[in-house]
Structure 1
Amino acid sequence: MSLAKTDDRIAQRYLALGDRDDLAEMVLGELRLTREWVLKITGSAWPLQNRRVLGRAVQLRSPYVDALSLIQVRALSALRNGGDEGLSEATTDQLRHLLLLTVNGVSAGLQNTG
């Protein structure tokens, strides 16, 4: 189920926050390898192929979770760079609140902690 919920493009954005391209590529490589082997072992063309109702539910939620994830990445990036940009305390508080909202939204959309 986790593989079905994982989007490589979103993962790349989160990993880019770490400024470690070598580790990011390693993580993405392992993700691809894991997905490949799980599909080979299960004989499926895509994750949750044999769990159609669950697969459809994940598919329907993905656009919303992806949008929240992208907002979350932007909020994290803005908070990390806030010292460089001299953000006001009010802006920093708003970004923290936005971050918490997106954590709750992503968690609810994924039906787990993400």
Structure 2
Amino acid sequence: MIHTRYLLVFLILSTLLMGCDVTKSAKDQALFKKIDDIHTQVKNEEWDDALDNVDKWEDTYEKRLWKMQLLGEQADYEGINLEITLLKERLKRQNERQAIDSIIQLKHYLSAIYDF
């Protein structure tokens, strides 16, 4: 009976620890890919396309937020919200350097959440 409990606890802990490697689903990977696409559009000065993609990215992000709240720190996903707002403004002003800074910051927050 006692061995069964230890075995059960071991199996649960093993599953949780090994499960950390598979926390990024295809939908989560799409967040990273789309940020790279937006980065390319900013470098190519495709401001309207980049702004449209930020809006689409934000929709996807909001659908994945529940998972980020489970995986990450509050400061990380709140930082994403702030950085999205800043990025939109920087794209509207066509400020490449600041837009790229926001993109880099978004990547950092995503990595902090998913690569724990």
Normalising by structure 1, report the TM-score.
Answer: 0.38
Normalising by structure 2, report the TM-score.
Answer: 0.37
Structure showing greater Rg: 2
